[in-house]
Structure 1
Amino acid sequence: MTDTPAPYRWRWAALFVVLAAEVMDLLDSLVTNIAAPAIRADIGGGESTIQWLGAAYTLAMAIGLITGGRLGDIFGRRRMYLVGAVGFTLGSVACGLAQAPDQLIAARVVQGLLGAIMLPQGLGILKEIFSEKEQAAAFGMFGPVMGLSTVGGPILAGWLVDADLWGSGWRMIFLINIPLGLFAVAGGLAFLPEWKSARTVRLDLLGALLAAAGSALIVFPLVQGREHGWPAWAFALIALAVAVFAVFAWYEKRTAAAGRDPLVEPSLFRKRGFSGGMALGLVFFSAMTGFWLTFSLYTQIGLHYSPFKAGLAGIPSSIGMVVAFIASQALAKFGRKVMHGGLITMVAGVGGVILTLGLSGDTVTPWQLTPALAVTGLGMGFVMAPFFDTVLASVEPHETGSASGTLTSVQQLGAALGTAILGTVFFERIKGDSFVHAEQFTLGVEIAMLAVVFGAIFLLPRHARPQETEAEPVATAAEEIPV
């Protein structure tokens, strides 16, 4: 590490620079759910275009996060943060100027890849410039910012589309990143110190390519297969993806045995808690992302809500998530029981949405959906809040960095899969059924996915922290933020 003042005098300014980058990512992961119908109406594309607007970003993010942190170790965190921030901002401009679906989807890939380079660097720098005592306060800022972005992101997106500022329509949801991006770049130049790993780190390029290929081979046929009548090549690609991931696992084991730096520590997969956490995260984040996508599509396409009204309709769920994040701190002593309780609560909320739609049909109002959506969001929050802490309690301290990065990539891959799977289910059902029944059926599939998550929770450690009688400590809360 380069020499920096102790404590670094600009550390709080650096915190707000990193938070600006986090806000850009959070907004861009949410806005296309609201704006997708307006985008398709303007530049065309099939139903799969709507799915790709979200899946392209999250899939690229999942692929990029696997190596993003390592690039900072090799080339310097400040340098790679600036590369990521500039690239993400330019990608946002390209999204705002896109004239065709393929151009927009390609620009979303650029956003995801460059965002995956940007985000780990800022978080890693914060861990270096704040003392252990200050880290709790510094990383505690992320909770409120994430909560406000979750609540405000869809509303902002809906308002921008409806407001049609200067005739920009949906394009402003991406162009609004320009001032945020300029702040992130200028702030990075002014306030972020340089940091580079003291030891020589090699990039596992072949491992990264194998992981990227396997992920893409799963998502692509799930999105495109339906529009082509589920041809044989779709299933062949999925089978090939399984084979590629098997080769990836073999290669990572071989890399570690040779004393080189593997992309993912093979020892992690021998731990029941971590493997269970990966399966849990993949299915849960698929279900959660699919819920947001299909609900936004149903309210706009089925109920003919404006984008702004659709954004407002989701507020109860977002508020429920924020409340759960706050309350989960007081419930941490109950360990994984909090996650089980959250799953039961979420299932009750999703069931409430199904019941409300069945009773009210196409005349349902946002107020009628409010109780069920609030319960759904509350459940989501109680599962999400302790997820990383609980899974990481099963790994050794020296494995925490690799485990955190892998889990974050799994979270993003789950989001891409949720967009592909539940989006496909929804569009498949509306071919010969009403929008109400299509949404009810899709939510029924979601409940089945949550049942799988409920069982996977039993594989996790009972508590996020070892008991005092255990000798070895685990990472602090700040260390568990993926870097």
Structure 2
Amino acid sequence: MSVPVPAEPDPRRWRALWVCLIAGFMTLLDVSIVNVALPSMEHGIGATPADVSWVVSGYALTFGLALVPAGRLGDDYGRRRMFLFGLALFVVTSVLCGVAPNATWLVVARLCQGIAGGLLNPQIIGMMQQLFSGRERGKAFGAFGATVGLSTAVGPVLGGLLIQAFGIGEGWRWVFYVNLPIGVLAILFGLRLLPKDGRTGRKRVPDLVGTLLLGGAVVLVMLPLIEQEQQNGSPRWWLMGIAAGLLVLFVLWERLLGNRGKHPLVNLKLLTVRSYSMGSVLGMVYFAGFTGIFLVLTLFFQQGQGYSALQAGAAMLAFAIGSAISPVLGGRLVHRLGRPMIVAGVLLAALGLAGTAWLVRDYTGSGAALVLAAPLFVAGFGSGLVIAPNSTLALEDISPAEGGTAAGVLQTGQRIGSAVGTALGGALFFGELSRSHGDYHSAAALGLLGSTGLVTLALLVGIVDVVLSRVRKARTTVAEPPPRPALTGSVRGLAPQETAAIALTSLETHQVHRTNTGPDGDFALTAPAGTYVLLAKVDGRDPVARHVVLGTEPSREDLQLPASARLAGTVHAGPGPFHGAQVTVLDAEGRVQGTTVTDASGRYTVDGLVPGEYQVVVTSYAPAATPVDLTADGPAQVDPLLRLGSTVD
């Protein structure tokens, strides 16, 4: 049985990545740039503290709500299509935020902007998953991580500059208008550079029940956290009990759809992929830790130290610079070092945050921003070794066909973690501020220690993952005999010293088993029973795929690579090489397989021929035909001799 063969890597994939990075930069910039504009909103349109809190929290709520359904829409209906739609919607809603005449308009527009951001983000991750593989994917995610750090660095400073340039009353509008040129530029480049969506055949029926159940659970989890962050009344924590019930119903519904052969919103088998499930847990806990520091430090610098919005943004620049530098390094090393590198990054982040908390508590002199720069840089550098590399490893064994949905689930966990961390940081900060009668140093230190505790918890999750992985590997090596290969075979048609990359992808769990052929072209893979797609790939040649079913007994599959031969030579006539002669290659049945014209030196080359018998026909004065038998061992040399008109019998 034949299956579709994946295409060669898109030659425009790196330029397409830049489009994704521009869009990602814009959506992430919008988070960090808005925070410093909140006082300007209060002054400009008379927004209440509750209003400006919803400007921040409402965006996070609808952003998290849209992620998983948007990932599924991208997987099913085309990532390019959903990317461009989400990008256009984000630009439009940004303009609507900028022209808001009152606080209600601004909050509603901001909620819609969160939906647009949630629609866009899974397409970015899914497209990177689709366009890149192996080490290239690590580099791509590293570039995305650097973009995250850069947007975090630029946002507060750019927001402060805009408010300073356009005034406290109108400056907040320009933090939204700045998305207009960036977004339009990304749309224009996206139309030209992003790969077109392939035809996926019949469209899946959307899982509306699953979408409503998961959406309701996400809303009910985040609402009390937002209420806690607003410090306005008592949060309705009982809503989380209802959210837990909705999550149970969601899992049961998704399992029912899967058992009936329907298409659930989330393929629950994704959670059986260990690298994905552990990466999701670590990401959620880590985001709960490090995101709370931005609220705490902004309040400390602006209210406790009397900094302006621009000064407060510049004061946190050290963290952002560190988190923009390290992802590039992490992207190159993640496949070599794996999870231990992520654990080292979490450790650096925890040490940096602990040092920041200690200095905030004990240092009461001037120049607090300069004093805190070193530990914030260490924390940021460590953070850059966590976020993008963790996403790379979490999605490594996920099929690109499920990449958008998997990214949506991963990011939803991160959004919930962010809401937990921000709520905890705000609660600790304001609680200590009240108890200490306005001591901003002790309040900020306690908020930062809360973030440090959550990052330390993420560190423990990472250590447990690494230890369990090594224990399991050691037990397999020592206690059990080497597993019997479930699938063996060979790849024929390889040139000397050439190897083929072999991938065996489960159609049930989407887990990928990989190896390379040996010197003789043989390969062996161990995998559980099931239905798989076997793919053999060699650089510069068409890949070959097979549909295979593995049972309890070993199976063998031999693959034949499409061979390609080259024919070259020099056409002579009379005294020497002949320029401008037409060379035509005919197969055994007389069909034309290639044609070219000799150059000034009489040389010609015809590539892409399948090994076999051919006739090389040269025409100019009089045609000359030469038989040739092509093989895949190397290029064939044929030097035809043209007979001039005067010599024709």
Please report the TM-score for the alignment, with normalisation by the length of structure 1: 0.85
Deviation at 1:80, TM superposition (A): 2.6
1:153 lines up with 2:158 in the alignment = no
Separation in 2, partners of 1:290, 1:394: 31
Deviation at 1:88, TM superposition (A): 0.5
Name the residue aligned to 1:438: 443
Separation in 2, partners of 1:308, 1:166: 12
Separation in 2, partners of 1:28, 1:40: 18
Name the residue aligned to 1:253: 255
Higher Rg: 2
Name the residue aligned to 2:105: 103
Q: Would the alpha carbon gap of residues 153 and 80 (structure 1) be closer, same or farther in structure 2, given more than 3 Å must change? A: same
**Larger RCO, structures 1/2 (Cα 8 Å, 6+ apart):** 1
Give runs of aligned pairs for residues 445-460 of structure 1, distance below 5 A: 445-460=450-465
Name the residue aligned to 1:302: 304
Separation in 2, partners of 1:193, 1:271: 28
1:345 maps to a residue whose letter is L
Separation in 2, partners of 1:114, 1:387: 25
Give runs of aligned pairs for residues 363-442 of structure 1, distance below 5 A: 363-392=366-395, 402-433=405-436, 434=438, 435-442=440-447
Deviation at 1:249, TM superposition (A): 1.5
Give runs of aligned pairs for residues 461-472 of structure 1, distance below 5 A: none
Question: Would the aligned equivalents of 2:10 and 2:131 in 1 still touch at CA under 8 Å?
Answer: yes
Q: Would the alpha carbon gap of residues 403 and 96 (structure 1) be closer, same or farther in structure 2, given more than 3 Å must change? A: same
Moved more, 349-358 or 381-390: 381-390
Name the residue aligned to 2:177: 175
Moved more, 75-84 or 313-322: 75-84
Structure with bigger strand share is 2
Give runs of aligned pairs for residues 21-420 of structure 1, distance below 5 A: 21-121=23-123, 124=126, 141-164=143-166, 168-196=170-198, 198-199=200-201, 200-225=203-228, 227-230=231-234, 234-270=236-272, 273-328=275-330, 329-330=332-333, 333-361=336-364, 363-392=366-395, 402-420=405-423
Separation in 2, partners of 1:20, 1:273: 28
Separation in 2, partners of 1:129, 1:281: 23
Separation in 2, partners of 1:326, 1:7: 22
Listed one character per residue, the Cα deviations across residues 46-102 of structure 1 (whole Å, up to 9, x for unaligned) are 545454333322332222120213323444434333321221111111221224444
SS of 1:53 mapped into structure 2: helix
Please report the TM-score for the alignment, with normalisation by the length of structure 2: 0.64
Q: Would the alpha carbon gap of residues 146 and 219 (structure 1) be closer, same or farther in structure 2, given more than 3 Å must change? A: closer
Q: Would the alpha carbon gap of residues 375 and 48 (structure 1) be closer, same or farther in structure 2, given more than 3 Å must change? A: farther
Question: Would the aligned equivalents of 2:322 and 2:380 in 1 still touch at CA under 8 Å?
Answer: yes
Question: Would the aligned equivalents of 2:145 and 2:388 in 1 still touch at CA under 8 Å?
Answer: no
SS of 1:26 mapped into structure 2: helix
What is the root-mean-square deviation of aligned Cα atoms in Å?
Answer: 3.6
SS of 2:265 mapped into structure 1: coil
Question: Would the aligned equivalents of 1:331 and 1:338 in 2 still touch at CA under 8 Å?
Answer: yes
How many pairs were matched up?
472
Listed one character per residue, the Cα deviations across residues 86-123 of structure 1 (whole Å, up to 9, x for unaligned) are 21111111221224444323222211211222344455
Moved more, 110-119 or 300-309: 110-119
Structure with bigger helix share is 1
Separation in 2, partners of 1:14, 1:325: 19
Separation in 2, partners of 1:394, 1:51: 39
Question: Would the aligned equivalents of 2:126 and 2:403 in 1 still touch at CA under 8 Å?
Answer: no
Name the residue aligned to 1:481: none
Deviation at 1:449, TM superposition (A): 1.4
Q: Would the alpha carbon gap of residues 414 and 443 (structure 1) be closer, same or farther in structure 2, given more than 3 Å must change? A: same
Q: Would the alpha carbon gap of residues 76 and 345 (structure 1) be closer, same or farther in structure 2, given more than 3 Å must change? A: closer
Deviation at 1:14, TM superposition (A): 4.1
Separation in 2, partners of 1:257, 1:381: 40
Q: Would the alpha carbon gap of residues 127 and 173 (structure 1) be closer, same or farther in structure 2, given more than 3 Å must change? A: same
SS of 2:39 mapped into structure 1: helix
Name the residue aligned to 1:480: none
Question: Would the aligned equivalents of 2:96 and 2:109 in 1 still touch at CA under 8 Å?
Answer: yes
